[in-house]
Amino acid sequence: MEDVDTPRPWTRTQLWVLLLIPLAYYAGAVFGVRATVMPEGTAILWPPNSALLAGLLLLGFRSAFILVPLCLFAEVAADLPTFTLEQAVAFGTINAFEALLAYSLLRAVGFDRRLSTPADVRKFLVLAVGVAPLFSAIPGAAMYALLRDATVPYLEYVRVWWFGDALGLLVFTPLWLALAQGRQAWRRERPYRGSDWLVLALVPLSLVLLLASQAGRLGGLPFTPLLLLPVAIGVASRFPLPVVSVAVALLATTVLVVLTQGFHPFGTLSAQDAVLAAQEFVLIVAVVPLGLSALLSRLRHQRAQLMNTTARLAELNRDLEARVRERTASLDALNAEWQRQAMLDPLTGLANRRAFYQQAEAAFHERMRHKIPLALILIDIDHFKQVNDRHGHAVGDQVLRAVAMRMAAVSRPEDTLARYGGEEFAVIAQHVDLSGAERLAQRLWEVVRQSPVEIGDGRSLQVSISVGVAACRPDLCDLEELVRRADEALYRAKEGGRDAVVLAP
């Protein structure tokens, strides 16, 4: 429950509550004396204590030092026409004790004055409606026994006080608490519809029918006040607690006024039976809608929480999906880069031997489908071992990179130029026959020989290559056979003195 007892200056709203609670207490006392007491003196319902309890729940215990004296003064003002000053003060003191006890019990169990959950309704019914009036009924009944007919059993006075006060707290405390809430508490999640207003209109209509009934009958048909219960339930199922509390108060007080004014809404009963029937009606017509309203409020709150949780989960799911897509794209890009790196020679940046064979397989598959010509060129750098031995492997790496760059510059986009191994290179040339492959090989040979390779410190090396060329035969050709023939042509080029291009037969 909200901690309203923390010392702080009174707000304007709280000052208004301090002023209105004693007025409500006085009005309740006058109403209780004049409208809820049977001619023989039996009180059906006592409303004023609900105002003091509501004030304490709204303002906290520190307000008791202001509210209790003011409400005691209101009690005396309302009771003086009927009781002496001493008796009025005694009754007022007992009523103040009842409200303070109810407030203390509710505060001890963490009661929420909005009555928005079944647990809070249960606490209110047991402690404020059940326990507190019973404890005040013990001294209150003793006062009645001294003032009234001593032939009435003491326990009967206890029952009259207990039930009257309990029903007053039950009917009017939720009403005062509801009236003190802001306008937001009177609204609900979805807009009101015509059917809602129709149900609410049944409240005054049912009261008119009740006033028109006589001795529990209307137009010759039975009409008991319990028939108003479905109306209260209908209101509780469609409206928030503030509206429900107003409807319950109207239904309960109208039945009591009709009964105390000499009508017989429950049929022809003895005075005692009529009082019991009225109290049973008030108990039912208040507890059922109050509990139903709290239950539905709890369900609506849980549904709103569920919807918020579902929306949050959907948002998190969308965020997760976006992250997964982003991570998947990143992994795909990284995987593609890894695959690309796995297919490249790290020194020259050309395709490696693995990539060469993949491209060669794809080229052979394309040749088989479309009968296109295909050639293979194998290249070997002449005397490369001597370069490494004389100048070191760093210079050897420079030579490999320079040769690779120059050959890549004159290769066609559709050709696959790869580092075949060590100082060997290979070219898969598609859409060319042997003569076309020879022209490509000559360009490769020439571009390497055109200029020496700069190796630093103003030095350069003249580099040459030996080239073997083979093309697929029209009748039969596979990769192994093509590599073998190109390798034989390369061998003849090196055997013939190197720095030459040799064609396979």
Q: Which pLDDT does position 459 carry in this prediction? A: 85
Which own/partner contact pairs does 213-219 have at CB distance under 8 Å and 24+ positions apart? 213/265, 214/263, 214/264, 215/264, 215/267, 215/268, 216/264, 216/265, 216/266, 216/267, 216/268, 217/267
Q: Which pLDDT does position 148 carry in this prediction? A: 66
Instruction: Find how far residue 275's CA is from the centre of its chain.
Output: 51
| pTM for the structure as a whole | 0.64
Q: At what angle do helices 85-108 and 48-59 cross, to 10 degrees?
A: 40
**Residues in CB range of 328: below 8 A, 6 or more apart:** none
**Residues in CB range of 33: below 8 A, 6 or more apart:** 78, 79, 82
Q: Which pLDDT does position 72 carry in this prediction? A: 94
Closest among 45, 40, 281, 286 to 160, alpha carbons compared: 45
Handedness of CA 383, 384, 389, 394 (dihedral sign): positive
Three-point CA angle 31, 36, 41, nearest 5°: 120
Compute CA distances 247 → 115, 285, 473, 482, whole Å: 16, 10, 103, 100
**Residues in CB range of 492: below 8 A, 6 or more apart:** 468, 502
For residue 497, give the amino acid letter.
G
Q: Which pLDDT does position 476 carry in this prediction? A: 67
Q: Which pLDDT does position 331 carry in this prediction? A: 78
What distance in Å separates the CA atoms of residue 89 and residue 102, rounded to the nearest whole number?
20
Compute CA distances 182 → 13, 120, 185, whole Å: 11, 20, 6
What distance in Å separates the CA atoms of residue 438 and residue 380, rounded to the nearest whole number?
16
Closest among 422, 432, 431 to 397, alpha carbons compared: 422
What distance in Å separates the CA atoms of residue 424 and residue 389, rounded to the nearest whole number?
18
**Residues in CB range of 191: below 8 A, 6 or more apart:** none
What distance in Å separates the CA atoms of residue 471 and residue 338, rounded to the nearest whole number?
33
Q: And the tokens for 329?
A: 């794209």
Determine whether 386 is exposed, middle or buried from the number of CB atoms within 10 Å of its CB (0-12, 13-18, 19+). exposed
Q: Which pLDDT does position 332 carry in this prediction? A: 77
Contact criterion met (CB below 8 Å) for 473 and 467: no
Looking up tokens 């404890």 gives 135
Q: Which pLDDT does position 193 carry in this prediction? A: 87
Q: Which pLDDT does position 2 carry in this prediction? A: 46
3-state secondary structure 277-330: HHHHHHHHHHHHHHHHHHHHHHHHHHHHHHHHHHHHHHHHHHHHHHHHHHHHHH
Query: Between β-strands 459-461 and 416-421, what pairing exists: parallel, antiparallel or unpaired?
Result: unpaired
Q: At what angle do helices 241-260 and 12-35 cross, to 10 degrees?
A: 30
Three-point CA angle 124, 126, 129, nearest 5°: 70
Other beta carbons within 10 angstroms of residue 364's beta carbon come to: 18
Whether 423 is catalytic = yes
Contact criterion met (CB below 8 Å) for 292 and 233: yes
Q: And the tokens for 322?
A: 């976006």
Q: Which pLDDT does position 74 carry in this prediction? A: 93
Of residues 75, 321, 361, 423, which has the active-site annotation? 423
Per-residue pLDDT of the chain (505 residues; tens, 9 = 90+): 444 555 677 888 888 888 999 999 999 988 887 777 766 556 788 999 999 999 999 999 999 999 999 999 999 998 887 778 888 899 899 999 999 999 999 999 999 998 888 999 999 999 999 999 999 999 988 887 777 666 778 888 888 889 999 999 999 999 999 888 877 777 776 788 888 899 989 899 988 888 888 877 877 788 888 888 899 999 999 888 889 999 999 988 888 888 887 787 888 887 778 888 888 888 999 999 989 988 888 887 788 788 888 889 989 999 898 888 888 888 777 776 676 666 789 899 899 999 899 998 888 888 888 888 999 999 999 999 999 988 899 999 999 999 999 999 999 888 899 999 889 999 999 999 999 999 999 999 999 998 888 887 778 899 999 999 999 987 767 888 999 999 999 999 999 999 999 999 8
| DSSP-based helix, strand, coil % in the chain, nearest 5 | 70, 10, 25
Contact criterion met (CB below 8 Å) for 52 and 25: yes
Q: And the tokens for 160?
A: 């009259």
